[in-house]
Structure 1
Amino acid sequence: MTDHDSYIAAAPEAFRPVLHRLRELLREALPDAEEMTAYNMPGFRIRGTVVASYAAFSKQIGLYFLAPAISDHAAEIAEAGLKASRTGITFPPRKPVPDDLVTRIARASREHADG
């Protein structure tokens, strides 16, 4: 996969609208980020640091940020009924992460990248 469009097009049909929305939200939240692909996942990079990425798996979608951004929002993630790891949130396509939460975590990830 070389770009976000190809990645989304290759994902299961039920996942595509959610992946499109994530890309749109991340683009808006990270206007100075460069779209890229690493580890076969589309992501957003600022000055060499990947601050956000997403992936489609067989039954769920993963949304990844820098670890401090996830921990900063752990309570909100749990309140939304979502599962989080140290660096990501996984969810079924029928229950996506709320838009405002995606935006807030993306901005926090960017701030942590700036140090």
Structure 2
Amino acid sequence: MTASAAHDAYIAAAPDALRPLLIHLRARLAQALPDADEIMRYDMPGFASAGQVIAAYAAFSKQCGLYVAKGAISAHADDIAAAGLKPTKTGVTFSPGRPLPDHLIAALALASRRDLGV
């Protein structure tokens, strides 16, 4: 199975309410990281370059997560808080009621790439 087909299958298996969020997140990440490859690592879809995972995403029962480099989270901590979201060391969780803004998806992806040096 290609990585792209694996992303499709992952999204199809997610809870119905989260699928639109995942589809949107995947598209925004692809737009922000046009030269990155779609990959599957640790059963999570993501985008990588030069063997480094720049951004990955996951679905849970009631929320989704975007996972990036630690430096990306710390660099955008104020933006994450302004969006009403809570970060972890390497991720941000969001839900249909509180989605991740497009500008923040792009900013986190690009900051993660810079942090990783790829």
After TM superposition, is the score higher than 0.5? yes
Q: Does 1:97 pair with 2:100?
A: yes
1:88 maps to which of 88, 91, 107: 91
Partner of 2:19: 16
SS at match of 1:84: coil
Q: Which moved more, 1:1-10 or 1:100-109?
A: 1-10
Q: How does 1:100-115 map to 2 (within 5 A)?
A: 100-114=103-117
Gaps of 5+ in 1: none
Partner of 1:79: 82
Write out per-residue CA displacement over residues 68-88 of structure 1, whole angstroms, 9 at most, x where no aligned residue: 011000011011100100000
State TM-score, norm by structure 2: 0.93
Displacement after TM superposition at 1:92 (Å): 1.6
**Aligned counterparts of 2:34 and 2:115: Cα–Cα separation in 1:** 16
SS at match of 2:39: strand
**Aligned counterparts of 1:61 and 1:93: Cα–Cα separation in 2:** 9
Structure 1 vs Structure 2 CA RMSD: 1.3
Displacement after TM superposition at 1:46 (Å): 0.7
Identity %: 56
SS at match of 2:66: strand
Displacement after TM superposition at 1:59 (Å): 1.3
1:45 maps to which of 40, 44, 48: 48
**Aligned counterparts of 1:114 and 1:18: Cα–Cα separation in 2:** 28
The alignment of Structure 1 onto Structure 2 pairs a total of residues equal to 115
Show structure 1 runs of 4+ deviating over 4 A: none
1:28 maps to which of 28, 31, 39: 31
